[in-house]
Structure 1
Amino acid sequence: MEQSPEAPKHTPTAKEIAAEFRKKITSKKPEYEPGGQLPAARTLAKERGVQLMTVQSAYGQLRDEGLVLTQQGRGTFVRDPSVPLGTEPGSSPAYSALAQELSTIHDALRVLGERLDRLEQLVGSEIPPSP
C-alpha cells in the first residue's frame, strides 16, 4: 500500500479561522482596518475547503467579540472601535441589548446624582443647632 506524495490537507475549524482573522484585525499592523470588508463567506469557504457554516461560525465568533459587524446582503466588516458597542447596524444582538441596558443604568445614575446633589444642598443650608 503506497501513500500518496501529498499529505492530507488540514481542514481548519471555525475556531482556527476566527483566530486567524482576529490576528489580522488586531495586530499592530492590521491587514484589515476599521471599515474593511472581510472575504465573502462563500468565497472563503471554497478557498479553505470547509462548509459555509464553518466560516459563518468563525465570523459569528468575531462578531460576538465585537470585532466585526455583519450586514445582511453586504458582508462582514471590521468594526470601528471608537464607536460604542451595540450601536451600529449589524452588531451582535447581545451587544445591542447590553448597550441599551447600560444606557438605562447611566440615566438612572444621573438622576440619582442629581437627587444626591439636592439633598446635600438642603443639608448644607440647614442652620446647625445651637449648644
Structure 2
Amino acid sequence: MDSSPDAPKPTAKDIAAKYRSEIADGEREAGSRLPAARQLAKQLGVQLMTVQSAYNQLRDEGLVLTQQGRGTFVRDPSLPLGTEPGSSPAFAALSTELSSIHDALRLLGERLDRLEGIVGSETPHGQ
C-alpha cells in the first residue's frame, strides 16, 4: 500500500485484503503480530477506526486474534476456531454450542444403544 501523501487513502477493506493475502501466502506466520493499529493508521494516514475495522474483519474471518493491550496476532489454523483467547466472539459462541451439541449427541447415542440392547433381548428367538 502506497503511503505517499498523494496516494488515495486505503479503506478498511483494502487493509484487510492486504493482510489476508499476506497470511494466505505464508508471509505472516501463525503467532506473528500485525502492526499496532495506531502505528499503522498513522503510517497510512487513515483514522484509527479504519485499521480497527480491518483487523475486526480479519478476526471475524478467523484469521487473527485480538488481545487487549497486547495486539493482533495471526491465528494458528491448526487450532479449532473460537478456542483461543482473542477469538471472534461469534466463533467462541459457535465453539461452545458445537461442544454442547456433541455432548448431547453422545448421550443420545448411548441411550439408543441401551434401548436397542433391551429390545434385542426381549425379541423371542425365531422371529
Structure-1-length-normalised TM-score: 0.88
Give the AA of the match of 1:86: G
Question: Which deviations, in whole Å up to 9, do the C-alpha atoms of 1:27-75 show, x marking residues without a partner?
Answer: 2xx1111101001111111111111110000000000001000001110
Matches within 5 A, 1:65-104: 65-104=61-100
The CA distance in 2 between the partners of 1:19 and 1:62, in whole Å, is 9
Residue 55 (1) aligns with residue 59 (2): no
Residue 118 (1) aligns with residue 114 (2): yes
Structure-2-length-normalised TM-score: 0.90
The CA distance in 2 between the partners of 1:84 and 1:107, in whole Å, is 17
Instruction: Extract unaligned runs of 5+ from structure 2.
Output: none
The CA distance in 2 between the partners of 1:24 and 1:7, in whole Å, is 24
Residue range with higher mean Cα deviation, 73-82 or 115-124:
115-124
Structure 1 residue 129: deviation in Å? 6.3
Corresponding residue of 1:19: 17
Structure 1 residue 130: deviation in Å? 5.9
The CA distance in 1 between the partners of 2:126 and 2:87, in whole Å, is 62
Displaced runs of 4+ in structure 1, greater than 3 A?
none
Aligned-pair Cα RMSD in Å: 1.8
Give the AA of the match of 2:48: L
Q: How many residues align?
A: 124
- Greater Cα radius of gyration, structure 1 or 2: 1
CA shift in 2, pair 1:75/1:107, >3 Å: same
Instruction: Extract unaligned runs of 5+ from structure 1.
Output: 1-5
Q: Any idea what SS the aligned residue of 1:128 has?
A: coil
Give the AA of the match of 1:26: A
The CA distance in 2 between the partners of 1:32 and 1:78, in whole Å, is 7
